[in-house]
Structure 1
């Protein structure tokens, strides 16, 4: 069906194709209060009506994905629909039921505590679920209010789009809308809550089905519903799988394994740290979802995590993300086992994913260096580089982008050439003395020899490296500057960063100020170094 809302004589058309809330069982109760929901995939719920919704930013590119145009974005109805204030005729918003392992421990029922699926739409042959984050309480909100604040919503809106243009699988973000309401949050969980401006993000993805969607059903032995959900997912999102085949659940798991490792490979490629890789935050589409306390590596550090909650154990640190992804896949395998009834094929899919990740990780790291083949000894070249990057605090994004400017012949004859090329990536160039300098020079000498073996012209290599090593990423301090300005009523920086991050591999001379190391003032500032899950 098409839902049409008239405004000023015009009409906003969306082709509504709700499937999840029509093909899967609903919670029989309509009471919107925290409770355990069993034998249901979701609960119907009405978004909260915000006091004074106001659009802070919208993406025309994402609007066109779902069938809207520029005129639609300027309408009053757009603000009301995508803030939750008004419902499109024929739609029935809902919150999804799922569980999850949080920081390695089973947490039981979690669900959409502050996310509400508005509708599902089709446009240009593609299917999209439109979800509001921060639109009020649901039966899965536990002790929370279901709302979100401006700082976390702005970070999610910008990061969703930044990740997409980096070539990383992700949900998209249609718009960022302030609610006009104050939301009380304790930013650092230190007993000092304060009111903050509320906001809502409209997230766009094929679906928001998660690993935890299957885990909760298996944990409750709701096997009929587990099969229904698996068959629904395969039927609508995995068309290459034969839905009548006895091996369909294994084939589904194998596909999720492959898309998940591809996603994490991209994270490692650009230095992105998710921060909360719980199984309820893992999409079965292999897309990045649930942007909370994420961050990009500033100084290269494989042990860094942006999440204050993870400060002690650093479970979700940068260097551990691949292993956590595989751990989460084991959890999904365990959830599917009751309907697969064999461990061996699930284990085989896991083993294949592990082997594929190891191979592709080496290829990816060599590609970042401008090397397109794999030779014996390349693993040592990569390992020695990572040691050097941590011996002197080095900005990862700047280092790899500048590295493309090295001239192979000079590296072979003058190892100091490499240090001169990448010096702007060093936070304290004075650290490059004694043994540390020798370590770096030895690596650049080995790198020059490796480039010689690759026999690629410098200009071609530079062009290839610049295609996978971004010049611009959404550093935490950049997002914080936009948050600070927006809280004062100035949204210009949101638009500037959004525009910058749609072309992260391009030079953009007018935006050169963003190609820089994290400023000293941001090193320990809240929101710029470590962040909490509070939003």
Structure 2
């Protein structure tokens, strides 16, 4: 790999702590601290993303590159570092946070001048580890590697994963915070993104009243990641905030389209570029439930439930607005922009629902149709992804009982089947108002609704198999997630089997996941 081409503009621009001290502490008035990965004696590569490596400009993998992928023997041209940020966690101000188990190598530029940041996750403690060890276990690393790649191929903005490796050491974790810590295999993920900047980076500088650095950070972000913004003065910063709001709303709609629930939407987990970032206690939707949260830490309030993600993203943007106020200095503009967020989100939300149902445009009465559909889905516990897959097959010849029994998590008696039949009749009538052909409608659905989603029970099976040294499921999952709009493996296109309902890591997870 071409690691000698990695550059580090970030640490050349912003104030930092170059002591290399990994003792957990506050680091006021700096945006990063230099830190070395801990190093591992017996690493073992599990999977390497060759396509991504070529795309971002790192080139082909050689055996000697394994050291770099786990943070060993860092070349002299690279000064590794972790960034400081702040954030609101579960609605409460948490003060200084930072990269607790993430260490940045820098950025690389490919032949098309596209820049990509490269980061280890699980390579050791940083000043921001908050008394933790900075390591990562296999299960969380597999989940991050596979889901970030799955989201990319679904067409959802996301960080990506370059490699997954065993570290050769055990890590002690209490998976469900139940007072029962266990040894687990350690692992390191190398992940990439255009940038890992978060809302929390801006919150930290604003909270510390480091306004000169805040100005530098905003200008750096606009110059490097928002080239479409060409305005000057205060308008430049207003356009920036409006763009962040739009990107964030677009991301929430994409999450809704594919049925993704993040599980821990703290402001420090919100990307300034509108990327899905930090894959912890996430879940793809099985049975449709607006109140579903996969995160045990989010109970009983369910702040980050599936149906609240749009609302929470707006709340997070309010916190970003507060952080940027010292620069923008226009309360009316900020309030107006945030109030318009809801209108933009719901319009986009309804438009994506139209595509999921094969409607060519939003018509009067569609909002009531969508509301009735949501009620049906929740009452009959229908599988979100499989429901739309079955809807593509609807015609006058179909047996509705056969089609929908395989997508429900409860028994469908005569009364429940009648409700489905009534809904399908309403749906057919609505399709009849389309200005496009039935074939075009079906094609629209097929492009919008995935055939494959990376369900938690599949991840659980994969992790269990990797733990015993096998990668058969891993290989199959990678093929399937790279082709989510095709049915590559019919064995994966099923609802969650009942035997996985109460297994940790399949239905509910913790922030340790």
TM-score, structure 2 normalization: 0.97
Q: 1:219 Cα shift?
A: 1.2
Q: Deviations over 1:464-501 (max 9, x none)?
A: 10111001010000001110001111123222211110
Which residue of the partner structure matches residue 241 of structure 1?
229
The one of 9, 23, 31 equivalent to 2:21 is 31
| Residues 274 and 58 of structure 1: CA distance in aligned 2, closer, same or farther (over 3 Å) | same
Deviation at 1:358, TM superposition (A): 1.0
Matched, 1:422 2:404: yes
Q: Shift in Å at residue 76 of structure 1?
A: 2.7
* 1:58 to 1:17, Cα distance in 2 relative to 1, 3 A: same
User: Is the 1:161–1:172 Cα contact (8 Å) retained in structure 2?
Assistant: yes
**In the TM superposition, what is the alpha-carbon distance from 1:455 to its structure 2 partner?**
4.7
**Structure 2 partner of 1:41:** 31
| 1:59 corresponds to 2:37 | no
Contact 1:367-1:465 at 8 Å conserved across structures: yes
Q: CA deviation at 1:311?
A: 1.9
Match of 1:115 in 2: 102
Q: Distance in 1 between matches of 2:324 and 2:142?
A: 36
Q: Does the 8 A contact of 2:199 with 2:267 survive in 1?
A: yes
Specify the alignment match of 1:4 in structure 2.
Answer: none
User: Counterpart of 2:433 in 1: which secondary structure?
Assistant: helix
1:226 is aligned, of 195, 214, 217, to 214
Matches of 1:195 and 1:261, distance apart in 2: 40
- 2:499 corresponds to which of 521, 526, 530: 521
Deviation at 1:526, TM superposition (A): 0.9
In the TM superposition, what is the alpha-carbon distance from 1:353 to its structure 2 partner?
2.4
SS of 1:431 mapped into structure 2: coil
The gaps in structure 1 that reach 5 residues or longer are: 1-10
Cα gap change, 1:417 to 1:452, in 2 (>3 Å): farther
Residues 420, 450 of structure 1: alpha-carbon distance in 2 compared, 3 angstrom cutoff: farther
Alignment of 1:346-495 (within 5 A): 346-407=334-395, 410=396, 418-428=400-410, 430-434=411-415, 436-495=416-475
State the alpha-carbon separation in 1 of the partners of residues 505 and 20 from structure 2: 38
Q: Give the superposition deviation at 1:418.
A: 4.7
Alignment partner, residue 146 of structure 1: 134
Q: In the alignment, which residue of structure 2 is the partner of 1:305?
A: 293
- In the aligned structure 2, how far is the partner of 1:12 from the partner of 1:296? 35
Structure 1 contact 14–121 (Cα < 8 Å) conserved: no
- Partners of 2:381 and 2:88 lie apart in 1 by 34
Q: Report how far residue 443 of structure 1 moved.
A: 1.6
- 8 Å CA contact 1:403–1:422 kept in 2: the answer is no
Runs ≥4 residues deviating over 4 A: 416-420
Summarize the Cα distance change of 1:167–1:399 in structure 2 as closer, same or farther, 3 Å threshold.
Answer: same
Q: Is contact 1:14-1:66 (8 Å) kept? A: no
8 Å CA contact 1:381, 1:443 repeated in 2: no
CA displacement at 1:445 relative to structure 2:
1.5
Range moving further from structure 2, 20-29 or 115-124: 20-29
Q: Give 1:31 deviation, angstroms.
A: 1.9
Q: Is the 8 A contact 1:363 1:372 kept in 2?
A: no
Asked if residue 496 in structure 1 is aligned to residue 476 in structure 2, the reply is: yes
- From the superposition, tell whether residues 129 and 54 of structure 1 become closer, same or farther in structure 2 (CA, over 3 Å): same
Say whether 1:135 aligns with 2:123: yes
CA distance in 1, matches of 2:301, 2:444: 37
Secondary structure of the 1:176 match is strand
Q: Please tell me the root mean square deviation across aligned C-alpha atoms, in Å.
A: 1.5
Q: Report the CA distance shift for 1:474/1:369 in structure 2 as closer, same or farther (over 3 A).
A: same
Which sections of structure 2, spanning at least 5 residues, go unmatched? none
**Is the Cα–Cα contact under 8 Å of residues 231 and 243 in structure 1 kept in the other structure?**
no
Q: Which whole-Å CA distance do the structure 2 matches of 1:214 and 1:403 have between them?
A: 44
3-state secondary structure, aligned to 1:454: coil
Matched, 1:22 2:22: no
Confirm or deny: 8 A CA contact 1:403 1:418 kept in the other structure. no
Of residues 87, 93, 113, the one that matches 2:80 is 93
User: Is 1:532 the equivalent of 2:510?
Assistant: yes
- Write out per-residue CA displacement over residues 227-282 of structure 1, whole angstroms, 9 at most, x where no aligned residue: 11111111111112237432222111111101111111010011110001000000
Give yes or no for contact 2:70–2:165 (8 Å, CA) kept in 1: yes
Alignment of 1:501-512 (within 5 A): 501-508=481-488, 511-512=489-490
Task: Give the Cα–Cα distance (whole angstroms) in 2 for the partners of residues 249 and 441 of structure 1.
Answer: 52
Within the alignment, does 1:260 sit opposite 2:248 as a pair? yes
* Aligned pairs for 1:202-221 within 5 A: 202-221=190-209
**1:132 is paired with a residue of what secondary structure?**
strand
Contact 1:418–1:444 (Cα < 8 Å) also in 2? no
1:432-481 Cα distance to aligned partner (Å, 9 max, x none):
432x3443232212111101111543332222101110010100000011
Q: Aligned residue for 1:6?
A: none
SS in 2 for 1:503: coil
**Deviation readout 1:354-374 (Å, 9 max, x if unpaired):** 211111111111110000111
